[in-house]
Amino acid sequence: MNAEDDPDLHTGAEQGQENIDRVLNSSLPNLPGREEKRQRLAARRSRTKRRKIKTAIILIILIVASTTTIQTVWAWSQCGGPLSPKDSPVPTKGIALIDELQWQHPNPEFVQTVRAAAAQAGYSFDYYPPNTATVDFFASLPRQAYAMIIFRTHGSADLVPDRTSPSIATNEPYTQYNHLNDQLLDRVTALNVNRTRVFAITPSYITSDMCGRFPGTLILAMWCTGGQWTSLADAFIQKGARAYIGWNGPVTVTHTDQAFARLVGLLAQGDGVDSSIRNTMAQTGPDPFTGAELTHYPA
């Protein structure tokens, strides 16, 4: 008897073939199905990438828009509204002394000498003690329309000699939560003054954040190497100052007080910047310890 005559043998053979086919089908790669799956994954990755790019673009737009909004709000709140680049007050015959060194290096004789020189020349005199020199205080300086502003302050050059970006120290304690927009834009920074971390304003703060323009104001920088930083001087000139005067090297407090007391008197009398500096240097000489001399910008 052969397999054709036995139905049981025939059925067993068919089942065996089906099992073999099932095993073969499961072991052989389903190429069309896998290719379709790869295409779906590639399309999904492409959509995800496009979505991320769109999200990044939206975030950039939002950041730019928020920065512009913050600047506009700041102008309204700090400067009384949007300012024209040519917004300048009427110049007055006034001299301001910002005396941040008064706590550590008080010199009432210097203050009195400047006050007397101002009065003799017919100028008003405003004295600002250390606690008034905040970041917002500096923002309003151009609108005060002073003929002369004397900065008896610290600067980054005398505290951090190798600093590439110059700045003027305020007496406002530094905190990362204040002046956020200006910190993000590097318009204010932090300096360590007498073991206290304070805010300091940079050239970009002067050109961008100060309200209005200086009406031909003379800027007198009494701190070390204040005359070496042309970017700081140029910022004041761009903002409307007539001239910027400072030291070309480190200077002692005693010598800077002596020299600027003489210089202020000459300038208040109407002498020119160059001749006043030459006269002052002839009378006081360079700093006896450092050799620093007064210089001015523009030269």
Q: Render 19-32 in DSSP notation, one character per residue.
A: HHHHHHHHHS--HH
* Type and span of the H or E element at 151: strand 148-152
pTM of the model: 0.74
Contacts of residue 204, Cβ cutoff 8 Å, sequence gap at least 6: 185, 186, 187, 235
The pLDDT value given to residue 48: 76
* pLDDT averaged over 10-residue windows placed end to end, the chain, 299 residues: 49 56 52 64 73 75 56 55 56 92 96 98 96 95 96 77 75 95 93 91 95 96 90 95 96 97 97 97 96 94
Q: How far is CA 150 from CA 15, 136, 145, 217, 272, in A?
A: 106, 18, 13, 10, 17
Contact status, residue 205 vs residue 180, Cβ threshold 8 Å? no
Q: Which of 168, 211, 218, 171 is nearest to 188 (CA)?
A: 168
Contact status, residue 198 vs residue 171, Cβ threshold 8 Å? yes
Q: Could you tell me the domains of the chain?
A: 94-297 (3.40.50)
Q: Which of 106, 104, 110 is nearest to 125 (CA)?
A: 110
What's the number of CA atoms in the CB half-sphere (13 Å) around residue 246? 31
